[in-house]
Amino acid sequence: MSKPSILVARAIFPEVLNQLQQVFDVDHNQDDVVMSPAELHARMKGKVGALTTGSERIDGPLLHACPGLKIVANMAVGYNNFDVDAMTKAGVLATNTPDVLTETTADFGFALLMATARRVTESEHFLRDGKWTKWSYDMFAGAEVHGSTVGIIGMGRIGQGIARRAAHGFGMQVLYHNRSRLSPELELECKSRYVDKTTLLREADHVVLVVPYSAASHHTIGANELAQMKPTATLINIARGGIVDDAALAKALKDRRIAAAGLDVFEGEPQVHPELLTVPNVVLTPHIASATVKTRMAMAQLAADNLMDYLLRGQTRTPINPEVCA
């Protein structure tokens, strides 16, 4: 009997690919070239499932071109590359990889916060460029982390992980803003106080963004919001490009409207706003918040398990639109 056909849209760990190859006929994008929508459409045709990452857009036109498709498993917790309504209408199950990356991503949020506040990369460039000729009292003096106030916008699992690190590890005051308030028990555990966005922007020494991207969260931070922040504040974005207006941020950094920023995600990535590349007071990393070997392996495994569970056993593990199976 022939095996069901799936597409693995980007390169993944050989161990995980091997498991998929045992039970599926796998078309694997071995070369890891990011496909154009037209290439993706052509390659997805005739497949019943696909393993994708944030770089593949699954939308109405693609679904129309691939009537046999049953499931798309994203190797990411965020799924703004999916048109979930269109997938649901087409009866295609969408899955993501929650939980397995929560703590790793929160670790990185904190790493970026510390690198930004303490000017780690800026000072390293100075040293590597041979500019370190003497010590001086204010050389790369940055912002305090311990005992300061962090404001977290988006208090889901990763936001809560950052709150715990901040409150319990660094004695920080934690303010948060979210669509809904946490339960009193969770607020206590995360030592976090719910405030409106204006209060958070005004009072936080470090603003950390962990909201999912949607039309509603587009440019959550733009020129207006930057103007409300302390001039000594830092801004950290580990959520998605588009949550911050990168042009407005580059200007604010250049004008020293805020002290510094740490960015792991960008509008239109892998392109980076050219002005951001010219300002010294920003730490820039290429979307690596979940990138530890263990966590990326767990994400790939969960995406593969979602495909195998659904296509071979009719079961779901981490569905985004479980109503498809009802």
Binding test (CB under 6 A) with ligand 8YV, winner from 8, 35, 50, 77: 77
Binds ligand 8YV (CB under 6 A): choice among 78, 91, 156, 222:
78
Which of 209/259 has CB closer to ligand 8YV?
209
When binding is defined by CB under 6 A, the residue of 5, 53, 88, 281 that contacts ligand 8YV is 53
Minimum Å gap between C-beta 78 and ligand 8YV is 3
Report the alpha-carbon distance of residue 94 to residue 322 in Å, rounded. Answer: 8
- Rounded least distance, CB 306 to ligand 8YV, Å: 14
CB of 246 to ligand 8YV, least distance (A): 17
Annotated active-site residue 146? The verdict is no
- Note whether 9 binds ligand 8YV by CB under 6 A: no
CB 35 to ligand 8YV: min, Å? 14
Helix, strand, coil % over all residues of the chain, rounded to 5: 40, 15, 45
Residue type, 81: N
Q: What one-letter code names the amino acid at 151? A: G
CB under 6 A: which stretch of 69-77, 178-186, 226-234, 271-279 binds ligand 8YV? 69-77
Residues 178-207 that bind ligand 8YV (CB under 6 A): none
CA angle 283, 286, 290 (to 5 degrees): 105
Rounded-to-integer distance, Cα 41 and Cα 57, Å:
10
Under rule CB under 6 A, how many of the chain's residues touch ligand 8YV? 8
Choose which of 16, 50, 71, 76 interacts with ligand 8YV (CB under 6 A). Answer: 76
Q: Of residues 240, 267, 273, 296, which has the active-site annotation?
A: 240
- In eight-state DSSP terms, residue 13 is -
The reply to whether 290 sits near ligand 8YV by the rule CB under 6 A is: yes
Question: CA-to-CA distance for 124 and 98, rounded, in angstroms?
Answer: 34
Tokens 């071995």 belong to residue = 30
- In the residue annotation, 41 being an active-site residue is answered as no
Query: Is residue 106 involved in binding ligand 8YV (CB under 6 A)?
Result: no
Pick the closest to residue 94 from 58, 142, 60, 43 (CA basis): 58
**∠55-96-284 over CA atoms, to 5°?**
45
Stretch that binds ligand 8YV, among 70-78, 147-155, 219-227, 267-275 (CB under 6 A): 70-78
Q: How far is the CB of 253 from ligand 8YV (least distance, A)?
A: 23
**64 belongs to the catalytic site:** no
Catalytic-labelled residue, pool 57, 193, 257, 287: 287
Q: Is residue 54 involved in binding ligand 8YV (CB under 6 A)?
A: yes
Assess contact for 237 and 262: CB atoms under 8 A.
yes
Query: Considering the complex, what minimum distance in angstroms separates the CB of residue 106 from ligand 8YV?
Result: 12
> Is 10 or 119 the residue whose CB approaches ligand 8YV more closely?
10
Q: Report how far residue 274's alpha carbon sits from residue 268's, in angstroms, rounded to the nearest whole number.
A: 12
Smallest distance from ligand 8YV to CB 249, Å: 19
How far is the CA of 192 from the CAs of 148, 156, 167, 283, in angstroms?
Answer: 13, 13, 8, 26
For position 163 contacting ligand 8YV by CB under 6 A, the verdict is no
Nearer to ligand 8YV, 97 or 149 (CB): 97
- 234 sits in the region (left: phi over 0; alpha: psi -120 to 50; else beta) called beta
- Which residues have C-beta within 8 Å of that of residue 7, sequence separation ≥ 6? 26, 27, 28, 29, 43, 44, 47, 49, 50, 51
Residue 238: both structure tokens together: 């580990």
Interface residues toward ligand 8YV, by CB under 6 A: 53-54, 75-78, 101, 290
Catalytic positions, written as ranges: 240, 269, 287
